Structure 1
Amino acid sequence: MKKVIFIFFIMVCTSISGQVGINTAVPSAAFDIVSKGNTSATKALEINNSDNQKLLEMLDNGNMGINLGASGPTDRFHVKTDVKHQNLPVLSPPYSPLGADASGAAKVKLTDIKYFYYKRTTGFGNFSLSNTNTYTSIPFINGTDVRGNTVGFGFGSEPSGTVNGRAVSNLNYLIIPEPGVYLFEMYQTARCDSVPTSQSNTGQIELNTVFAAANAGSSVYTTNTIFRDYLVARRNASGSVSSSRYAYANPQKLVVAYQSTSMNEKVALLINYVGGDSYAAQDCYMNKPNSSDNYGYLIVTKL
């Protein structure tokens, strides 16, 4: 016992001011420990319980571990299983109960919502609606119509490409920068002027809004989702079709949850004639409904 006490007093130096040092003759704090190394190969501190289970250890490179067992800490603070935080506020999205700011400080903060918002201020067209093999690209151009783009979408165009093997000219597309699941929500309205080239017994036009995707660097697009809407003719009080048959703003919608699996995938949105009455001339376009301030919108949220 005397030997243990003697060795302890050799290792510990107590200064007149009440400071205690281990492996140092000049402690700079009330309790100052100077370790023997400065790498992860040696330890400054280790605490075990009566079953010789390691509870806490501090490596000489500054990493601290709690309840890690035989394995050592691989980061500055490494904990096995759960950590309890008491008295933190309970919040609902879009807030994160615990996050880190730009300086690395842990605190309650807003989560980063990644989205793309496009509000169209000008119409586009004219295009025909008469051939089921013809696709018209819906343009999305980088500019003032982009009201938000925290998801980091890119923009592109190519003079030609294919959609399901059909040739398409003047293709506009969006570039998804990273893999993930994205919710696309688009709304716009269509109309056609003058009298149809051909008339069926339906009194309407079937119109597809097509969501197609291609790999980075490719112009070969494959359809992922199709939404089918109708252009309904204007009628008079007796129910007969008037001369300006399709002058209403006919809603065209698209809602797609798309999983991107590779970097920089390309997405194109297109219009495709299905059947019913037809317009061989380029008399159709996307218009702005009365009292509206836009010609349509696209909102994309990364889920």
Structure 2
Amino acid sequence: MNMEQLERIRTGKGFIAALDQSGGSTPKALLQYGIKEDRYSNEEEMYGLVHGMRTRIIKSPAFNSKHILGSILFENTMDRFIDGRLTADYLWEEKGIVPFLKIDQGLAELEDGVQLMKPIPGLDDLLKQAVKRNIFGTKMRSLIKEANPIGIKKIVEQQFAIAKQIAGYGLVPIIEPEVDILSADKEQSEKLLRDELSTQLSALGKDVKVMLKLSIPTEDNFYSDLIGEPHVVRVVALSGGYTQAEANEKLAHNHGLIASFSRALSQGLTDQLTDDEFNAMLAKSTQDIYEASIK
């Protein structure tokens, strides 16, 4: 584990940029960026275009360590280059931004009100590759749709079982049990989730470090105890489908919770913008998200 990176994530002012849409969400991410499906004819071309989009974001002067602490990458991005350097090395050496890797393979079918992660075949090989590529930590997402105690317990147990495996490689896992912002019983789900997270955290070995990525809670400062928990490096918030303005407004009411936005970060950025327009829009987004994160 890189101690300089750990300290930056633990105490730095700023937020985590999530640039990790993958698989089925890649065409959606490209469409949001203004690239329609008729612009590519196979997966390789699609991933080439999405890497072009991510490279443009990462190389922008607006994408800087003054506002951004870390960035979450997709596996395909980890293995690609920016200006002759592997993406993770470019991020850290050129930008001072800590690299993370998305490792999950998407969601299983809905059961007990939740969607667990699908199995992750070849996880050990991926984690070895991540270490080789100078990745600091990982991210894995599951989804809570209903306040079902059985389902929420299963979600948290699955997240922590894999987190321990990840920590064994010296990587810091981001545990992401997202609560659907449209859920009718979101607040009740959050209560159940907080209890399960506390239980699992208290059972971790004292040297194990994790991060939590959670939906912005219905009740302000609801996760304060988790933010102060000794095993927890940082608690970050996902935008979850809120617009950037909504997500920032809600985040600003939660002291110590910082952003890890994906769609809300790239909102409005398109292939058609000139570099000046693109950089100005990204600069405004990073500034606004940063300000909501440091409150």
TM-score (norm 1): 0.22
Highest Rg: 1 or 2? 1
Looking at secondary structure, tell me which structure has more strand per residue: 1
What is the TM-score when the length of structure 2 is the normalising length?
Answer: 0.22
